Structure 1
């Protein structure tokens, strides 16, 4: 799956996948072959932070 470039769409897709398919961001990144640091930075640039306790960005 190709992830969206638009940050709001990326935010939505990642949170949906975390909610429905993955128990952690590490698991999602490993399975989808995504660099965790890059993903976290892209979302941080538009104001979102990952919450490990909630397993979502907000």
Structure 2
């Protein structure tokens, strides 16, 4: 599965996936075989961090 490369589009894509299909980021990354640390680093570069409470990436 190819995921978007652009950080803003990636954030939107991941938040939609988290909202619709996954109980958490760990679950999503395992299911899609994604490197969680790389995802968090990429979205951190545009000022977003994962919130377990909201189960989405939010503005840091």
Alignment TM class, shorter chain as reference: over 0.9
Divergent runs of 4+, >3 A: none
- Taking structure 1 as the reference length, the TM-score comes to 0.97
Match of 1:28 in 2: 28
Match of 1:47 in 2: 47
Alpha-carbon distance in structure 1 between the residues aligned to 2:11 and 2:19: 12
1:13 matches 2:16: no
- Residue by residue over 1:20-51, the C-alpha shift from the partner in whole angstroms, topping out at 9 and shown as x without a partner, is 00000000000000010000000001100110
Q: Runs of 5+ in structure 2 lacking a partner?
A: none
RMSD: 0.5
Alpha-carbon distance in structure 2 between the residues aligned to 1:20 and 1:46: 23
Q: Runs of 5+ in structure 1 lacking a partner?
A: none
